[in-house]
Amino acid sequence: MSPEEWTYLVVLLISIPIGFLFKKAGPGLKRWGAAAVGLGLTLFTCGPHTLHSLVTILGTWALIQAQPCSCHALALAWTFSYLLFFRALSLLGLPTPTPFTNAVQLLLTLKLVSLASEVQDLHLAQRKEMASGFSKGPTLGLLPDVPSLMETLSYSYCYVGIMTGPFFRYRTYLDWLEQPFPGAVPSLRPLLRRAWPAPLFGLLFLLSSHLFPLEAVREDAFYARPLPARLFYMIPVFFAFRMRFYVAWIAAECGCIAAGFGAYPVAAKARAGGGPTLQCPPPSSTDFCVRVRDGMRYWNMTVQWWLAQYIYKSAPARSYVLRSAWTMLLSAYWHGLHPGYYLSFLTIPLCLAAEGRLESALRGRLSPGGQKAWDWVHWFLKMRAYDYMCMGFVLLSLADTLRYWASIYFCIHFLALAALGLGLALGGGSPSRRKAASQPTSLAPEKLREE
């Protein structure tokens, strides 16, 4: 593990005992205490580069105050434009920010765009009330009022998820501050139940990254290996990639559990990223869902909710695949400017189109046993597709990614094109038009699908 990874881990572990301290505190102590801890961690890890987050916050708050009825689009343009400036600092001869600054900036971008959207929704609701002359009661998910500058700062620097997520809306943050009976929210047992796989995942990460180091792919000797060995290598690389993120996300989730953050009654059917809703399907497992589409949905669920809510729904296209391509393009941009991000993320729409067309053309014609076999094959190919795309995500550079993909003959790209062509030839419909009855279920045991 690199020094940066050790620092991330320490920050995540520190958040767990801090969460127990804040859980039963009053709203004022929660708000300002959590903000003080988050700002302290930011200053400690980012130093003077903390200024970037402050400029982003002040700019967004100014836009919200100036144009509350259209601040969502303005905040999206402002924060994404600042990301471009932020990543071009070295080209401009300015000091390069630390990796921790980048992490803070990424999560802050999500939070500020979401805040602007919530304020815009509040403003539009207030205008409708004034026009109708009829005052409604509190609306689910709507803010009580527009946050002040200090309230915006406290939300932005709240220590919960400040570097690793999870992303949460301002409404979810307010619900935590105003939690009516925090002592009644269980913490210790759910935390232990959630935390137990983390040491195992950590050991598996260390073992797999030691036996199959990523740097080997950048060496000329690697390409002298037989094709089966090159094909296999992406599987443990993606495995190590997942184990590292699973440890970080479990630790971050344990910090939330300790603080009672995001705890809602079961009847509220809260959704990852969105908060309480009555129309939320139960979460599933990333590794055991069948389709590429579902794998995306269950990977880093709060960020996926943000992308669906603020990018996918406003995409300049009606086709599911084109909207997904637009969403993946902006997701790649959010992650950074490395070509590997774009190569990987923009492979996803091709896989989505291929699996959607072929599944709608063939799966419904099979017997129940045939459909089960289809789902297992589909799951296997989905995992190999994510193995393949992960290589671009970790190799980052254009040359290294294309060199590896070329060494295995761009097999996933050609397989997806062949599946797409076959699906079209057999008359398969677009992914957005598939009937729910033909959709595969998760291969996970029931207990893996419970949260």
Q: Indicate yes or no: pTM above 0.85.
A: no
The pLDDT of residue 106 is above 70: yes
Residue 132 — very low, low, confident or very high, per pLDDT cuts 50/70/90?
low
Q: pLDDT, tens digit, for every residue of 152-174?
A: 999 999 999 898 889 999 999 99
pLDDT digits (tens, 9 = 90+) for 297-345: 888 888 888 999 889 988 888 888 889 999 999 999 999 899 999 999 9
With a pLDDT cut of 90, the percent of the chain lying above it is 61
CA distance 160 to 267: 24
| C-alpha–C-alpha distance, residues 186 and 13, integer Å | 19
Contact by Cβ (8 Å): 392, 344? yes
In angstroms, the CA 66 to CA 59 distance is 11
Of 336, 304, 311, 387, nearest to 83 by C-alpha is 336
Q: What confidence score (pLDDT) does residue 446 get?
A: 36
Rg of the chain (C-alpha set): 23
Residues 419-429: tens digit of each pLDDT: 999 988 888 66
Amino acid in position 161: G
Q: Are 227 and 408 in contact (CB under 8 A)?
A: yes
Helix (H, G, I), strand (E, B) or coil at 255: helix
